[in-house]
Chains A and B, each alone.
Chain A
Amino acid sequence: MKNARALSLRGLSKSYLAGQNAVDSIDLEIQPGEFVSFLGPSGSGKTTTLMMIAGFSKPSSGEIAIGGRKIDSVEPYDRNIGMVFQNYALFPHMSVADNVGFPLRMRQVPKAQAAKRIADALAMVGLADFSGRKPAELSGGQQQRVALARALVFEPDVVLLDEPLGALDKALREQMQIELKRIHRELGVTMVYVTHDQGEAMAMSDRIAVFNRGRIEQIGSPAEVYARPQTRFVASFIGDSNLIEGVIGRGGSVDLPGFGSIAVGRGDLTPGTPVDVLLRPETIRLSKEERSPEDICFTVDEIVNYGDSFLVIGKSAGQELRARVPGLDMPALARGERCVMRWSKERVHIVPR
């Protein structure tokens, strides 16, 4: 799409009560055509931020710019932002075609041209034959597609999506994720996607902004956010995680009480600094071989079979740990059994505290 624009937020804050910020000084630069997810638990400020971008909520301070133009005092109807609402907010009294045609009508697009664009938009979301239906006659997934077509048909500068797949069941959600990704690729429009589902954010985004308590704790590519979380919150919110408290030792190693000292190759941290060590469950391997002195002992408490993999919950050095073992690599273990635990040092990640 020719008019993909950059979106920038500078020092954006929103406070409902004095001294309490629902959104606290957010800085974010989104590139033209980028797909950015706002990920966080409910109440973390992601939806409030989205509402401020759309213009439905007034920032207490800070500024918002689209393509370099400040839009803080522009009314929502003049912002040229497409939005897909959580429950779609389709106009119940209008047909599918009238819903999709609404933004074109507001922009006085000539009838013939509008008809063509409506048809194209509906074809894009696979609903070409549904233009005469009323929203109530559509399934949830179809309503969702209409909402998407309506948000895209007027070639907005930016498209905002507020948990658009939240109401759909799992299979449909995955199908829509793929479709949404395809549409984004085809149109190249800037998209901001709010979700509390980390899997969804991982699957779709160019970058993820992780929200917590009104702040962005980290922004980065899905791989980055997953492998190298910068805070304890990000480490525990995204993916399954084992966090072990430790202290930075000498020569790029970390001292973990009960586990000994492990080399992690980080010389940039002052010895004595308390840190958390992130150990993803899938980096842990369990085996029933003879243990050598440097191996760590693991006592199995619970085994959950997921089919393709096993989740093994157990204790090691007094700490509860979770290991995710691929089905093929799973040793024959039983509850209460002791085994040997290994991990690869390159996968260990230090999270500052």
Chain B
Amino acid sequence: MSRSTIILAVLVAILLTGPMFIVVPMSFSTAPSLEFPPPGFWLGYYRRFFSDPNWTGPLFNSFAIGFGTMVLAMLFGAPASFALMRHRFRFRSAFRMLVLSPLIVPHIVMALGYYSYFGSLGLVQSMTGVILAHTCLTIPVVVLTLTSALANFDRRVENAAAGLGARPLTTFRLVTFPILRPAFLVAALFAFIHSFDETVIAIFISGRDSATLPRQMFNSFQMEADPAISAASSLLLAAVLVVIGARWAARLVKPQPARAKA
């Protein structure tokens, strides 16, 4: 591969990421509107973000909704993944379609559906409503993660456990689950992020009291009202940076042991 190809790729990648970081200087800016370069620097917007209930409330709501969604999506999605990968049943392909279809329907369409549906159920503007909606959209994420982990799972270790005297539930508890634990953790994390990040449905069905962080940010952008959004954006960016950086550092510090290819 030629050097110029590599340089091109690196340049495009930098172009891809670079612009995002403009939110960082903005968050320390003293300018109340979108002015760049900033006229001066201070920490006021961070102070505002962490003290103003208009921001702390949605932040808390997003965590609560994300957590609730994660629990429900795992509760429904994990068994569904096992059913899809390990059993043949009559409605299997229909079930598969049903489970994956929330990925296909544009969120704005579902937002409209939930807007009227939860209106009639009295769930509009409630955290429960957002959690239920997010769970539907998140189940496919969980199922995709777990089914691909299950596809790579060598079922002979389960046979081995059975042959050594372990009953099915014991096998699951001592062998299957511990081996799949990383996949379960990843699926749960994806579920949380998927909900935490979801904007469109939250805009339409979370009310003032159950507003999520993305909804609050969206509204602030639209009004251009509150410069604390730059602090919120920088914090979200920092969170992603920390997680990815940590994974990177972990790989640098501890190289993966060469797995003995069985």
Contacts and interface: CB of A to CB of B under 8 A. Distances in A.
Interface stretch (A81-89, A188-196, A211-219): A81-89
A135 B162 contact: no
Given A85-B156, A135-B260, A54 B179 contact: no
A72 to B, nearest CB: 16
A62 interface: no
Interface stretch (B25-33, B133-141, B164-172): B164-172
Interface in A51-96: 54-56, 75-83, 85-93
B166 A106 contact: yes
A339 B225 CA distance: 105
Contacts of A54: 159, 163
Interface in A307-342: none
A76 B159 contact: yes
B178 interface: yes
Contacts of A302: none
B154 A77 contact: no
A77 B166 contact: yes
Contacts of B262: 87-88, 140, 143, 167
A80 B178 CA distance: 24
A82 B179 contact: no
Interface string A135-164: 111111001000000110010000000000
A338 B170 CA distance: 71
Contacts of A139: 260
Contacts of A229: none
Main secondary structure of the interface of B (DSSP, over half): helix
A106 B161 CA distance: 9
B260 A140 contact: yes
B163 A83 contact: yes
Interface centre among B163, B167, B178 (most CB of A within 10 A): B163
Contact of A76 (B163, B257, B259): B163
Contact of B166 (A56, A82, A102): A102
Interface residues of B, number: 22
A54 B158 CA distance: 13
Given A77-B167, A87-B156, A92 B179 contact: yes
A33 interface: no
Interface in B206-262: 257, 259-260, 262
B160 interface: yes
Contact of B163 (A77, A86, A87, A137): A77
B159 A137 contact: no
A162 to B, nearest CB: 9
A163 B165 CA distance: 22
B175 interface: yes
B224 to A, nearest CB: 53
B157 interface: yes
A103 interface: yes
Interface string B48-72: 0000000000000000000000000
A107 interface: yes
Interface centre among B156, B167, B262 (most CB of A within 10 A): B262
Contacts of A92: 157, 179
Contacts of A143: 260, 262
B34 to A, nearest CB: 51
Contact of B164 (A75, A138, A154): A154
Nearest to A79: B163
Interface centre among B164, B166, B170 (most CB of A within 10 A): B164
B160 A89 contact: yes
Contacts of B179: 91-93
A106 B170 contact: yes
Contact of A77 (B165, B178, B259): B165
Interface centre among A81, A91, A140 (most CB of B within 10 A): A91
Contacts of A83: 159-160, 163
A276 to B, nearest CB: 40
Contacts of A87: 154, 156, 262
A56 B164 contact: no
Nearest to B257: A136
Interface of B: 154, 156-157, 159-167, 170-171, 174-175, 178-179, 257, 259-260, 262
Interface of A: 54-56, 75-83, 85-93, 102-103, 106-107, 135-140, 143, 150-151, 154, 167
12 contacts: A56-B163, A75-B167, A77-B163, A79-B163, A89-B159, A92-B179, A102-B161, A102-B166, A106-B170, A135-B260, A137-B260, A140-B262
Top-7 shortest CB links A-B: A106-B165, A103-B164, A89-B160, A76-B162, A89-B156, A87-B262, A83-B163
